[in-house]
Structure formats: C-alpha cells, structure tokens
Amino acid sequence: MNRLRIDLFISAPGLLLLAVGFLVPAAVILVLGVRDADGAWTSVHLVRFLTDSFYLGIAWRTVKLSLLITAICVVAGTPLAYIMARGGPRLRLWLIVCITLPLMTSVVVRTFGWMVVLGRGGLVPDALKMLGLVNRNYTLMHTETAIVAGMVQVLFPFMVLSILGVVQRIDSRLEEAARVMGCSFLQSLRLVVLPLAVPGIVAGSLLVFTLSASYFITPNLLGGSRLPVLASSIYETATKTLDWQFAGAQSIILLIGVLMLLIVQAKLTRPAHG
Amino acid sequence: MVEAARGSIRVGTAIYLVAILLFVLGPLVVVAGVSFTAGEYVAFPPQGLSLRWYEAIFSSSVYVSAALTSLKLAVIVTISATVIGAGSAIALHRGRLPATPALSALFLSPLVLPSIIFALGLLTLWSSLVGRTSFFALWLGHTVIAVPYVIRTALAVLSTSDKFLEEAARTMGAGPWKAIFHVVIPQALPGIAAGAFFAFNISFDEAIVSLFLRSPEITTLPIQIYTQLEFSPDPSIAAVSTLMIGLTILLIFVIDRVLGIQKVAG
Amino acid sequence: MTAVHLDNVTKSFGGVQVIKGVSLSIKQGEFVSLLGPSGCGKTTLLRMIAGLEEATSGSIHIGGTDSTRLPPEQRDIAMVFQSYALLPHLTVLENVMFPLRMRKLGERAEQRERAEAVLELVQLSHLAQRRPRQLSGGQQQRVAVARAIVSSPKVLLLDEPLSNLDARLRESMQEELIQLHRQTGLTTVFVTHDQEEALSLSDRVVLLNAGVIEQEGLPDELYVAPRSRFAASFMGSTNLLEVELEPSGAGARALLPAGQSLLLGGEVRKRGKATVMVRQEDVRLAPASAGAAATATLVTRIFLGSRTRYVLDLDGHMIRCLAPADQLFDLGEKVSVLVQPDRIRVLAD
C-alpha cells in the first residue's frame, strides 16, 4: 500500500494537470453545446447542425477530405514502409527523420512553405503555367487540393510508421519462398507482403483518419474560410460569430466521431495482445 | 529482396523515393531558399542570394522579443512537463494505480483528441475565471500538450527495462523512494531526456493553444509568424522559419543521440 | 540458533492458494535447498522470506525477529535473482557497494574496501570498473553473488541462479558456491528444480510439491529413502513397480505379475499391494541362469559413454538399468536381474 501511495503522489501533478487543463476545459465546451441561453438542457444546437445543409456539407467535406487523405497516405505510404523495412538501418533512420521532420516543425512554418509552393506565382502554378494549362493568376491556395497536400505531408509518418512496424515483423523468408516458387518480385509483394501488412494499414488508416478530422489550423490556413472542415468551423463559430453554444454542439459531434474511431482502433489492436 | 528485383524496379524505386522526399520536404526547402533571397518579395527560386533578411529579423525588436518569449516559455514548459510527465510515466508503468490502462489512454489522449476543443475550453474557462490571458495560461496550455510526449517516450523506455531491478534494489536495503531514485529514474532517463527535448520542440513551435490564449503583451514566435502571414508575408518570415526548422533538426539529432529515433518512432 | 523460521505460512493469489501451510526451521549457517517442479511454490516461498511477497497467513522469523510484516529493505537479507538484476548504470564495484550504501553500513571508504574484498573472493577484481553489459553471463552471475554476500546478511537467498548457465559453467559455479559457503558461513536458501544440484550443494533438502513440503531431510535421505511416489520419481531416475508383498522366511518378497519375485530387506512389514522403487544403478544384470529369481528380456540398449542404459521387460514391467560400459548384452537376450534386498524400497503410498 505504501508503494501505491507513492505512485499516487508522483502521478498526482499529472492527473491534476490533465483534469484542470484538459478535461475540465473540454467538458465546459461540450456542455455548452447542450445548453441554451438560460442554462437549461437542450438539443436545439445539435439539431441545428444535423438539419442545416450547410453544416452537413461541412461534415461531409471533413469526411470526404479525411478519406482522401487517408487513401493517399495508404497508396503512397505502403511501398515506402516496405522499402524502409527491407532497406538497411541507415536508410530507415534517414527516411524516418525525413518524413517526421514536417510533423515536428511549427504548423505556421509548414503553411508558409505551402503558400510559397501553391500560391500565386508559386512553384506549382508556375510549372502549370509553363505547361500552358493555366493562366498567370492561378493559385492553388484556398482549395481542397491545398488542404489535402498540407495534411498528407504532416500525417504521412503516422501511416508509414504504423505499416513499418507490421512489415518488419513479416519474415522475409516468406517472400524468398514465393520467389523460389516462381513469383516475380511484384507478385511476391502483392501475394505475400500486402495481405500480411493489412493490420498495419488498417491501424494506420484509422489513426490518420482520426487525426485529419481533428486538425484545424492546417485546413484553416490552406483552405481558407470558404472551405471549412468541422474543426475549423468550430473555430470560426467560436471566434467570429461568437456562438459558443453552437461551437460546443459541433465539438460534441466531432468528439463522438473521433471517439468511435478510437474505439474501433482499440478493439482491433486488443486481440493481437491476447 | 529488392536486390533480386529487375533493374526497372530499382529505378522506379529510386524515382519513387525522390518524389516522396520532394513532396514531404519540398515546402521546407523552399522556405529555406526564400530566406536567402536578395530581393524584396517572397519568391522561389530566390532572386540572388543574401543574408539581408536574417539581419532584418535579428534587428527587429518584434521578432526578437517574440523569440525570447517563446524561449522562456519553452524552457519553463520543458522543465515542468518533464517532471510531471516522468512522475506520471513511472506510476503508470508500475501498474498499481486503479484502471491503469484507461488512465494511460487518458494521459495520452491530448495527442489524438481534437485540440480545438480543449483550447477553446481553456480560453473560456480562463476568461471567465481569471480574466485576461497571461503567461501562466500559456504555460498551462503548452504543458498539457507537452506532457503526453514525455510520458510516451518514458513509458517506451520503461517497458523494455528489467522489472526485477526495483525488487533487487529493495532486497539491497533501498526503501521505495530510494528505489525510484537509484533504479527507476536512471532506467527511464533516456526516455525522459528524449521527452524533454520533444517538449521543448513542441512548446517552441506551438501555434494552436497560443493562438487562443494570445494577448497583446505576450506573443510567441509562431504567433508572430501567423499574424505576419495574415497580412503581408515578406522574406523575413522565411528567415525566421528557416531558423526554426534548423532548431527542430538539431533537436531531432539530439533525441536520436539520447535515445535513438527508432525507439521513439516505433 | 535458528536463522529462519517459517510457521504455517500460506500464500494465496486471488482465490488460488499456492502455499498451503509450510513450516520450516533453518539453522544458522545451513545451506538449504528448496527443490521441486515448476509451479510447486518454491520461488514464491523464497520471495516470501525476502519480503517481496506478503504471507497470507502464518509468520516468518528472520534472525529471531518477527519479519512477517516487514518490507524487504528492513529485513536483513540479500538475494540473487535468476536474471542477476545488476544495475546497468553502475560499475561492477558500485553494484557491489550498493547494499552497503543503502543499508548505511560503514563509511564510504570502508564500504569500498569491503566491496573490493568480496570481488577478490569471486575473482573479479580486475573487472571492478566495467559495466554489467560488458561481462559474460558467468561473470555477471558472480557479481550478483558478490553483491549479495557483501552485506553479510542473516540469510542469503538464491533464486535458481545457475539455470541460465551452460552445463560446464554450472558445474564450476556449483563448486564455487560450496567454497563460498564454507568461507562465509552464511545461512543460505537455494531454489532449484534440478535435484542433482540440490543434492550436491545442500546440507538439507526441502522437497516441495503443490505448495506443501513433500519431504525434507539430508540429501542422501531423500535420495535413498524417498517416502512417496512423487519424491521417488523426482529424486532421480528410478523404477517403480506395482507388486504384491508376501512373507518369505523372516522377511518379505515382492511378487511380480507373472510369478517372478524379488527379495526385500528384513524390516519390511507391509503386506498386500504396494509400490516398490529400485534405482536404475541398483539393478544388476548377469547372463541368464536357471536359478535366478528374476529374468528379464532386453528391449533397448542406449550407449551413454561411461555407462549403458538398458530397458528390460521384467514380467511385463518395463524397467531401466544403468550398467557399467563393459557389460554388453544383445537385444532380445534374456538376463538375470539381481537387486540387493536393501536397495528395494517400499513406498508409503
């Protein structure tokens, strides 16, 4: 019991911080979402969200973009994870550093970079102009493309590392056996590695989807106020229109969505440790 | 395995890797490139090379004071997040707390749950309970975000440690507190140290909570950049950003030295 | 003087009782082995003496003091863990000094001297400044032992310390442990599942089975006179035969199913159905002769180098015999089976 008391003592500051700095503030906002101006319980804000086509459109955009981001991460990330798993430790380390770097830089720095690349007169529009596809005022800023690009850059390592973990545990002798039995390299990837990598892909997808639904600054800066996703809509509602209750209602919906995904993810990873 | 593949596959792989790196690192490289421009505008490739924009930011009192604020904040956040996070990680690792798995998930939740929700809430609570936001409010918000990073790396190291060491220390006469100091903390130290560097990086770069809790008196460097972005970006932003990227790269290498990136990323 | 006294100690984990009432007294300076198969509770018992597990009921006295509710750091003990548990961030010398520091025994300089002396005892003085990860398994094990004896504890506890070593290293470590025990005179409790190890090292052997003491006594008592089936089969390769006991002159005979019999020693009083045991090395073979009381057919021959093991069919019972290498019989051959009457033991159950 003495040892339990010590454990409680050393974790108390963390628990306190968590409660005061995270749980209580979150609860405050969530509760606002189900209260009206007089403080009584109401579902009017939630109903408003679920019946207004504008806001449903926001929810749809959030889901649509998150799906797209996740899909791109899967397609682009799976081969990279394989290369990192089978490549040497040095290559693996350098690649981990490279893909994790954007995640570790400040979001404003990243966004600025994308602005230069995608904005008017930026690299990509200039290249497209040279190919004769667009005129000189073309910008990719404040488009869904920009949002997807910015988010993929950041969330990519989550997908890759998740798949990497799984592929590293696949015995490379299985692939050798497939080759010896007549498969080409690509066939062995498709028939042996890919099926076995699925758990990592699924886990990574859930994580990336959850995170992309939760981010707000990147979509806000790169997509602009005319292309809100749920998280940035919450920001707008709270700071521009000052409708805190409605912001709270949107927060509830976002949180429910995220929690459902996390529960699915938890259920999927539990049996492996059984 | 790749060695046994056709040459065309190898070429394809190389192209693929380059493409990925271009996409992932491109924007950052571009920022660095813009920072060295001799011209007036943000443009890539830069028009001429010069260090004028670096000179500009070092002589700009706005940027310098924002940088110092960020630095001060980051140091304090790092210290508090490290101490709080280490204690929590040790307690979680020993598994004696009630509902430890749920508690672990809870402690790590700021990493996955939408930060907008708690950031908004923090602003609401603070303005209604205290009034104007202050350095302390920023510290609180930053530390909440930083602590999970410390816990994650410390737990990762502790989970691979020898669980008999603590018992051995007790059979050698070390009471519960002494056992923590002489055995558990030294064991967890690489994880705690790596977590500390993560915390510093997180705090220095932090823009979300800082956005909500900002006030005219306290501006952090990222927020300074943010406001500049909203108005008229000039290459000075690029210079500041490049320095920040440099700092991050430095911290990544330090973390790798202390712990090894593999253990953290895996 | 009793160094350790366990009085009707029990231990339950959740609803499962692992130690079901163990009472044991260990004298000062004794080397006692706790022996038994996996899951018998020997390690749990050791950990209870250490204080790493709390007894559910009963009492534990160490050096005369009631230590039942005391945590390990307040008991005058030292323990060698199966995985050695050396502190990786300290040098070998600092590891050995650690108990002295924690228990505040003497000044820094004195602690250093004591630690160096003990390192000398285990012949590792030249490695004093190394870190544990730079040592081989055998060296780590010696550091663990040195660290345990440096504080001259009332009782030294060893949890299967030799099981991670290869056979040859284990043998030499066993000899070293015997030496150390003689030199230090420390009361020692040694947990092992290897009955040969227990027999060779101990002053006394305590055989545990499913949480109770099956039998305890001097090593050769347990070997020569096991009282139960379990004890008999655990303590070395033995033959167990189901027989019918009937009187024969002043003593008794063990009647085998097909009518053959073996003469037993004179003190056997039991009659009727019984189990008898004969050690493999006590089964003597000779070329078949007409007057022999027992004849068996050779089924398998296993060449072991210095000896040969034979599997024989004796009246339907398969028995094993360890014979000297120069005795060679052929498969299918009929041989006489000769056993000294006093080498056949009747088991209690």
The domain locations on chain C are 2-225, 237-346
Q: Is B5 part of any domain?
A: no
Element (H, E) at C238: strand C238-248
- Per-residue CA distances from B82 to A167, A224, B145 (Å): 33, 36, 12
Residue B246 forms contact with C (CB below 8 Å): no
Tell me the mean pLDDT in the region B216-232.
Answer: 86
Q: Is B37 part of any domain?
A: no
- Token pair listed for A254: 């976002």
Residues 137-176 in B contacting C (C-alpha not used; CB under 8 Å): 162, 164-165, 167-176
Count of C-beta atoms within a 10 Å radius of residue B160 = 9
Tell me the mean pLDDT in the region B199-224.
Answer: 90
Q: Is B141 part of any domain?
A: yes
Residue B187 forms contact with C (CB below 8 Å): yes
Q: Is A36 part of any domain?
A: no
Res C92 pLDDT > 50 = yes
Chains that touch B (3 or more CB pairs under 8 A): A, C
- Token pair listed for C120: 């000398």
Residue B87 forms contact with A (CB below 8 Å): yes
- Token pair listed for A238: 């709270």
Residue B116 forms contact with A (CB below 8 Å): yes
Contacts of B162 in chain C (CB under 8 A): 83, 85, 88
B166 → chain C, closest CA residue = C85
Count contacts between A and B (CB, < 8 Å).
Answer: 263
Contacts of B190 in chain C (CB under 8 A): none
Residue A19 forms contact with B (CB below 8 Å): no
Q: For residue range C10-32, what is the model confidence (pLDDT) as tens digits?
A: 999 988 999 999 999 999 999 99
Closest CA to A246 of A84, A43, A58, A93: A43
* Phi, psi of C341, rounded to the nearest 5 degrees: -55, -40
**pLDDT on residue A271:** 60
CB burial of C190-216 (b: ≥16 within 10 Å; e: otherwise) equals bbbbbbebbbebbebbbbbbebebbbb
Query: What span, in angstroms and rounded, lies between the C-alpha atoms of B4 and A191?
Result: 17
What CATH number is associated with residue B261? 1.10.3720.10
Res C145 pLDDT > 50 = yes
**What distance in Å separates residue B75's CA from the closest CA in chain C?**
27
- Token pair listed for C28: 């000062």
Count contacts between B and C (CB, < 8 Å).
Answer: 62
Contacts of B22 in chain A (CB under 8 A): none
Tell me the mean pLDDT in the region B164-173.
Answer: 93
Contact B16 A79 (CB under 8 A): yes
Contact B172 C89 (CB under 8 A): no
CB burial of A102-138 (b: ≥16 within 10 Å; e: otherwise) equals bbbbbbbbbbbbbbbbbbebbbbbbeeeeeeebeeeb
Say how far residue A138 (Cα) sits from the centre of its chain: 28
CA atoms within 13 A on the CB side of B210: 26
- Per-residue CA distances from C107 to B181, C102, C113, C130 (Å): 21, 12, 10, 23
- Token pair listed for B17: 């890797």
Chains that touch C (3 or more CB pairs under 8 A): B
**pLDDT on residue C191:** 96
Contacts of B238 in chain A (CB under 8 A): 112, 116
Residue A112 forms contact with B (CB below 8 Å): yes
Report how many domains make up chain B. Answer: 1
Query: Where is pLDDT greater, at B4 or A170?
Result: A170
Contacts of A147 in chain B (CB under 8 A): none
Kindly report the CA angle at B15 between B12 and B21, in degrees rounded to 5? 140
Confidence of residue A274 (pLDDT cuts 50, 70, 90): very low
Contacts of C73 in chain B (CB under 8 A): 170-175, 178
Say how far residue C346 (Cα) sits from the centre of its chain: 22
When computed from its CA atoms, the radius of gyration of chain B, rounded to whole angstroms, is: 23
Tell me the mean pLDDT in the region B106-114.
Answer: 90
Query: What span, in angstroms and rounded, lies between the C-alpha atoms of C299 and C317?
Result: 11
Contacts of A18 in chain B (CB under 8 A): 106-107, 144, 147
Residue C85 forms contact with B (CB below 8 Å): yes
B186 → chain C, closest CA residue = C89
Res A273 pLDDT > 60 = no
Query: What span, in angstroms and rounded, lies between the C-alpha atoms of A66 and A158?
Result: 14
Task: Evaluate the CA torsion angle A239, A245, A250, A254 in order and state its sign.
Answer: positive
Residue A213 forms contact with B (CB below 8 Å): yes
Residue type, A220: N
Q: Which of C51, C85, C103 sits opposite B168 (nearest CB)?
A: C85
Q: Is B8 part of any domain?
A: no
Res C192 pLDDT > 60 = yes
Percentage of chain C beyond pLDDT 70 is 98
Q: Which of C71, C81, C89 sits opposite B168 (nearest CB)?
A: C81
Q: Is B48 part of any domain?
A: no
Residue A155 forms contact with B (CB below 8 Å): no
In the sheet that holds C188-192, the strands lie side by side as C77-80, C155-159, C188-192, C31-35, C204-209, C212-217
Residue C151 forms contact with B (CB below 8 Å): yes
Contact A109 B261 (CB under 8 A): no
Contact B241 A216 (CB under 8 A): no
Contact C102 B173 (CB under 8 A): yes
**pLDDT on residue B152:** 92
- Alpha carbon dihedral B54, B57, B60, B66, in 10-degree steps, equals -150
User: pTM above 0.90?
Assistant: no
Q: Is A35 part of any domain?
A: no
Closest CA to B90 of B232, B187, B203: B187
Expressed as residue numbers, the domain containing B247 is 61-265
Q: Is B9 part of any domain?
A: no
Query: Who contacts C257 (Cβ-Cβ below 8 Å, separation ≥6)?
Result: C315, C316, C317
Q: For residue range A141-158, what is the model confidence (pLDDT) as tens digits?
A: 888 999 999 999 999 999
Cα-Cα end-to-end distance for chain B: 22
How buried is C82 (Cβ within 10 angstroms: 0-12 exposed, 13-18 middle, 19+ buried)?
middle
**pLDDT on residue B39:** 83
Report the CATH architecture of C2-225: 3-Layer(aba) Sandwich (3.40)
Pick the range with the lowest mean pLDDT from A4-13, A21-30, A124-133, B30-39.
A124-133
CA atoms within 13 A on the CB side of C159: 24
Contact A238 B120 (CB under 8 A): yes
| Site from A17, A22, A95 to mutate, B interface, most B CB atoms within 10 angstroms | A22
Kindly report the CA angle at A44 between A40 and A47, in degrees rounded to 5? 150
**Is the preceding peptide bond at B45 cis, omega within 30 degrees of 0?**
yes
When computed from its CA atoms, the radius of gyration of chain A, rounded to whole angstroms, is: 23
Query: Who contacts C310 (Cβ-Cβ below 8 Å, separation ≥6)?
Result: C285, C298, C299, C300, C301, C302, C320, C321, C323, C329
C78 → chain B, closest CA residue = B171
Query: What span, in angstroms and rounded, lies between the C-alpha atoms of A41 and A271?
Result: 40
Q: For residue range A39-61, what is the model confidence (pLDDT) as tens digits?
A: 788 888 888 888 888 999 999 99
Say how far residue A162 (Cα) sits from the centre of its chain: 13
Q: For residue range C213-271, what is the model confidence (pLDDT) as tens digits?
A: 999 999 988 888 888 888 888 887 788 888 888 887 777 888 887 777 788 776 777 77
**pLDDT on residue B3:** 58
Q: What is the mean pLDDT of chain B?
A: 88
Res B60 pLDDT > 80 = yes
| Site from C67, C70, C73, C118 to mutate, B interface, most B CB atoms within 10 angstroms | C73
> How long, in residues, is chain C?
349
- Per-residue CA distances from C253 to C270, C282, C344 (Å): 10, 17, 11
- Token pair listed for A138: 């073309």
Res C207 pLDDT > 80 = yes
* Phi, psi of C16, rounded to the nearest 5 degrees: -100, 125
Contacts of C78 in chain B (CB under 8 A): 171-172
Percentage of chain B beyond pLDDT 70 is 95
A31 → chain B, closest CA residue = B121
Expressed as residue numbers, the domain containing A231 is 42-269
* DSSP conformation class of B142: H
**pLDDT on residue A34:** 87
**pLDDT on residue B262:** 60
Q: Which of B167, B172, B187 sits opposite C98 (nearest CB)?
A: B172
Confidence of residue C80 (pLDDT cuts 50, 70, 90): very high
Confidence of residue A242 (pLDDT cuts 50, 70, 90): confident
Give the three-class secondary structure for A16. Answer: helix
B163 → chain C, closest CA residue = C85
Residue A165 · residue A226 · CB < 8 Å = no
Q: Which of A32, A101, A108 sits opposite B28 (nearest CB)?
A: A101
**pLDDT on residue C348:** 72
**pLDDT on residue C290:** 67
**pLDDT on residue C115:** 94
Q: For residue range B24-52, what is the model confidence (pLDDT) as tens digits?
A: 999 999 999 999 988 888 877 888 888 88
Task: Evaluate the CA torsion angle C156, C105, C87, C121 in order and state its sign.
Answer: negative
When computed from its CA atoms, the radius of gyration of chain C, rounded to whole angstroms, is: 25
Residue type, B180: I
- Token pair listed for B221: 């460097």
Q: HEC profile for A158-216?
A: HHHHHHHHHHHCCCHHHHHHHHHCCCCHHHHHHHHHHHHHHHHHHHHHHHHHHHHHHCC
Residue B220 · residue B210 · CB < 8 Å = yes
Q: What DSSP string describes C43-62?
A: HHHHHHHHTSS--SEEEEEE
**pLDDT on residue C147:** 95
**pLDDT on residue B203:** 94
Query: Who contacts C173 (Cβ-Cβ below 8 Å, separation ≥6)?
Result: C138, C141, C142, C161, C162, C165
Res B266 pLDDT > 60 = no
Query: What span, in angstroms and rounded, lies between the C-alpha atoms of C217 and C215?
Result: 7
Q: What is the mean pLDDT of chain C?
A: 89
Query: Who contacts A184 (Cβ-Cβ below 8 Å, separation ≥6)?
Result: none
> How long, in residues, is chain B?
266
Q: Which of C77, C88, C102 sits opposite B178 (nearest CB)?
A: C102
Tell me the mean pLDDT in the region C293-304.
Answer: 86
Residue C250 · residue C266 · CB < 8 Å = yes
Contact B25 A102 (CB under 8 A): yes
Predicted ipTM > 0.90: no
Residue type, C275: T
Q: What is the mean pLDDT of chain A?
A: 88
**What distance in Å separates residue B79's CA from the closest CA in chain C?**
23
Report how many domains make up chain A. Answer: 1
* Range C237-346 has CATH code 3.40.50.720: no
Res B164 pLDDT > 60 = yes
